[in-house]
Amino acid sequence: ACCYMDGNNEVIVGSVLKTRRKDTYIATKVHIASEKKMMASVERSLRRLQTDVIDVIQLHSMKKREHVLNETAMNALDKMRKKGYVRFVGFSTHKNQVECIDAGIESGFYDLVLVTYSFKTDPKIEKAIARAAKAGMGVVAMKTQAGGYKKHDLGDWSPHQAALRWVLRNPHVATTIPSMVSFAQVDENVAVMGTKFGARDAEILERYGQLIDREICRFCQDCDAACPAGISLIDVNRVLMYADGYGDMDLALRTARQEGLVELLRACADCSTCLVNCRYGLDLTGRVRRLSELVGALA
């Protein structure tokens, strides 16, 4: 996305891929703004990426139906496509995913959607993914490793390969973008290509799922409107996933700030008892407390 690493992410990708452009597909994101600002953002992305065209441009982190159906944003994306800046248009979503996916289908405008999807995903989201694919939208899965938590209890077995195979077995998923920050992770993920999900994978995920069951958010959305202080528990869980699963404290703190959690968490001090419950059994009170401590230590 244009905002990752304050734009340096695009610079790094551009410097590496400029000599291999024909071998790659480049996707990036843009925030909803005025048409002028969105066009300027994509023009900056083109320069940073050192390319004449972006294969896929996505509206970044849609949270509501209104965002997906924003006419200004869709007009800007259409203009980018007509000017030859981009080939395909889509959006990403972490929150209210079913609502956002269905809005994308209804619009008939978007070529694809980038959605959180793993073996721990709530079934409602999986059904929405199927609807999108049947409507002709490409579905790209992110957060495929269910947090990527490092659990040594599994010995030499790789839950992350099993998790990726689980996602790829879904015929409605076109491709995936698992996070990779080392050559070892690249090798681990690439080794999955061309292989099929089997009984051993199912056993691995059963064991791994039990280990992370009280850590991973299913993004089901059931808890999100319950906090009287307006704290998004989905965002809390996503930030903790970046910190504890990815081990990326910078991303965790940046996301906490972007989602306004740093200020909202102060309201927790006024609550004697947390009113929010998770139907999957996550200790939301403890997780909010953990994030408060983390933000306090990193801020």
Q: Does 244 lie in the same domain as 201? A: no
% of the chain at pLDDT higher than 70: 93
Q: Does 164 lie in the same domain as 33? A: yes
pLDDT at 148: 78
pLDDT-wise least confident of 116-125, 178-187, 241-250, 263-272: 263-272
Q: Does 54 lie in the same domain as 162? A: yes
- Residue 95 CA to residue 224 CA, distance in Å, equals 9
Beta-bridged to residue 77, according to DSSP, are none
Q: Is residue 221 in a domain?
A: no
- Range of the structural domain that residue 246 is part of: 233-298
Task: Note whether 32 and 89 are within 8 A (CB).
Answer: no
- Residue 31 CA to residue 7 CA, distance in Å, equals 13
Q: Does 252 lie in the same domain as 281? A: yes
Q: Does 53 lie in the same domain as 105? A: yes
Task: Note whether 255 and 238 are within 8 A (CB).
Answer: yes
Q: Is residue 113 in a domain?
A: yes
φ/ψ (deg, to 5) at 28: -145, -175
Q: Is residue 151 in a domain?
A: yes
**Six-digit token string for 79:** 């203009």
**Six-digit token string for 217:** 């958010």
Q: Is residue 50 in a domain?
A: yes
Q: Does 292 lie in the same domain as 173? A: no
**Six-digit token string for 292:** 């408060």
Reading phi first (left if > 0) and then psi (alpha if -120 to 50, else beta), residue 214 is in alpha
pLDDT at 117: 96
φ/ψ (deg, to 5) at 115: -135, 145
User: Among the three residues 154, 178, 212, which one is the final residue of a domain in this structure?
Assistant: 212
Q: Classify residue 19 by burial, with Cβ atoms within 10 Å: 0-12, 13-18, 19+.
A: exposed
User: Among the three residues 212, 245, 262, which one is the final residue of a domain in this structure?
Assistant: 212
Distances (CA, A) of 94 to 42, 80, 135: 22, 24, 20
Q: How many domains does the chain have?
A: 2
Q: Which residue has the higher pLDDT, 211 or 206?
A: 206
What pTM does this model have?
Answer: 0.84
Q: What is the CATH number of the domain that holds 111?
A: 3.20.20.100
pLDDT at 83: 97
- Residue 135 CA to residue 21 CA, distance in Å, equals 30
Task: Provide the sign of the torsion angle of the four alpha carbons 287, 157, 121, 103, taken in this order.
Answer: positive
Task: Note whether 148 and 133 are within 8 A (CB).
Answer: no
Q: Average pLDDT over the chain, rounded to whole?
A: 89
Q: Does 84 lie in the same domain as 47? A: yes
Q: Is residue 196 in a domain?
A: yes
Q: Does 159 lie in the same domain as 75? A: yes
Does the pLDDT at position 237 exceed 70? yes
Positions of E strands within the chain: 27-30, 54-62, 86-93, 112-116, 138-142, 175-176
Q: Is residue 131 in a domain?
A: yes
Q: Is residue 273 in a domain?
A: yes
Q: Does 145 lie in the same domain as 9? A: yes
Percentages helix, strand, coil for the chain, rounded to the nearest 5? 50, 10, 35
φ/ψ (deg, to 5) at 122: -60, 140
User: Among the three residues 162, 182, 212, which one is the final residue of a domain in this structure?
Assistant: 212
Q: Does 99 lie in the same domain as 47? A: yes
φ/ψ (deg, to 5) at 54: -100, 130
Q: Is residue 282 in a domain?
A: yes
Hey, how many other C-beta atoms are within 10 angstroms of the C-beta on 14? Answer: 18
Q: Does 102 lie in the same domain as 73? A: yes
Task: Note whether 260 and 266 are within 8 A (CB).
Answer: no
Does the pLDDT at position 289 exceed 90? no
pLDDT at 244: 86
Q: Does 255 lie in the same domain as 199? A: no
- Residue 192 CA to residue 85 CA, distance in Å, equals 33
pLDDT at 19: 84
